[in-house]
A and B are shown apart, each in its own frame.
Chain A
Amino acid sequence: MSQKVLLTSKEMNIILHRLACQLVENHNNLENSVLIGIQPRGVYLAHRIEKILEEEYGLTGIKLGHLDITFYRDDFRRSDKPLEANKTRIDFVVEDKRVIFIDDVLYTGRSIRAALTAIQSFGRPKEIELLTLIDRRFSRHLPIQPDYNGRQVDAINEEKVKVNWQENEGEDAVYLISK
């Protein structure tokens, strides 16, 4: 097993600021928009973006929710290992809101497909956008593309992209791991 650094802490920092900046460009003060971090790994990214929006752009009252998609996945009873659920925490209605899905790595697009179904349980959003840190292009199974993208990566199927966060793994970095 070997691993290669795709993004260093410094590069990640620049990208996170750019993504936050792009959100402000499109959503102004996020008054009518909500951030939804996809469980489990998208939540870290969502909180990081929220922090930048608050600190750099002085935004307050940002609505941020956690969405777990386990019960909406299309591989229930098909995958070898049992699916483990995480907490969903959305304490607002998304009806008529502009929803921004936030996830760390976009790979096949199946998670986002599940998230699109899951979010309907909380109302009918006005629109849904997708923000990802890493886009593994050429590996999509579904017609889903990000609206805000950190870095495009060409990785073959056996390779794995791992995003580490300061608050969880003790460092900010993105690795490409091959077997």
Chain B
Amino acid sequence: MSELSVDHLLGIKYLKKEDIELIFQTADHFKEVINRPIKKVPSLRDVTIANLFFENSTRTRLSFELAEKRLSADVVNFSAASSSVKKGETLIDTVNNILSMKVDMVVMRHPNPGAGIFLSKHVNASIINAGDGAHEHPTQALLDSYSIREKLGEVAGKKVVIVGDILHSRVALSNIFALKLQGAEVKVCGPTTLIPKYITSLGVEVETNLRKALEWCDVANMLRVQHERMDISYFPSTREYVQLFGVNKAILDSLDKEIVVMHPGPINRGVEITSDVADSDQAIILDQVQNGVAVRMAVIYLLASKIKQL
């Protein structure tokens, strides 16, 4: 296969296994490119991409922008804080205004789940979902799987536990879809209040004992506690959360195997993981960030190749 089966990247749910393989193979090439003395290829010279961020982001936005620039695309940035959205413009109007300035592709982060899907039905451009509410964050899941593949050889058959705030996490949902699609086993672990009721319908198991989860897994993906999305109190105190679900070096060292620790960032040091874990050789957090650029280049390149020209 040499072409994606989709025209937009709205979520992992819409991808096939072969799509993920193609993205990873392409990302391998781009990973080589971004480690060259000159880290840029001219493929997307004639493509213009708008990054629309209706919600704050540092890492994802920077990663997308670097990926676009390393493919030589023209980039325009937009953040909701300084836009006409504040003046009452609708999403479709905002995007159509931007598209009428001849933009080919839109990378969008939005606080509402399904915003990307809605947009893809109403505007004429290729859409990449960079996170829509608590729904999906497909490029993060792709780079997580890519990092597992790089570290452990393959994703199929690996045991992955996702720890933390599963309820508010788009990273968790996209990761579950991506990992299951590639044949990995997945467990989620966290306070029962932060685990969605019907999560087992996605084919994952729930484990509320962190130690048991860590003993079972090859990879632990530690999610951030998203205080900003919590309208009510889901656990008594941060201190209690740390004691029950925080990973420290002592727990890792007491396991009979060396597991891989991942974190999508930003880290709350001392909450999900302690500093000595984050900075240890078992953590591949900075590899994830580097792979993020290569994977996003691959996604943008493959989607751009489907926009037929002239």
Chain A interfacial positions (CB closer than 8 Å to B) = 68, 70-73, 76-78, 81-88, 93, 117-118, 120-123
Contact = CB atoms under 8 A, between A and B. Distances in A.
B36 interface: yes
A86 B307 CA distance: 22
Interface stretch (B39-47, B56-64, B176-184, B282-290): B39-47
B75 interface: no
| 8 tightest Cβ-Cβ pairs between the two chains A and B | A71-B41, A121-B38, A77-B309, A71-B43, A85-B29, A82-B3, A82-B2, A84-B2
Nearest to B40: A121
Interface of B: 2-3, 25-26, 28-29, 32-33, 36-44, 46, 71, 301, 304-305, 307-310
A83 B43 CA distance: 11
B34 to A, nearest CB: 11
A89 to B, nearest CB: 8
Given A72-B42, A78-B309, A123-B37, A87 B304 contact: no
Nearest to B44: A76
Contacts of A71: 29, 33, 41-43, 71, 301
B160 to A, nearest CB: 29
Given A77-B305, A82-B305, A87-B29, A93 B37 contact: yes
Nearest to A81: B2
Given A72-B43, A76-B304, A123-B37, 14 more contacts: A68-B29, A70-B29, A71-B29, A71-B301, A76-B43, A76-B305, A82-B305, A83-B305, A84-B2, A85-B25, A87-B29, A93-B37, A121-B36, A122-B37
A156 B2 CA distance: 29
A70 B42 CA distance: 10
22 contacts: A68-B29, A71-B33, A71-B41, A71-B42, A71-B71, A72-B43, A76-B43, A77-B46, A77-B309, A81-B2, A85-B25, A85-B26, A85-B29, A87-B29, A88-B29, A118-B41, A120-B38, A121-B33, A121-B36, A121-B37, A121-B40, A123-B37
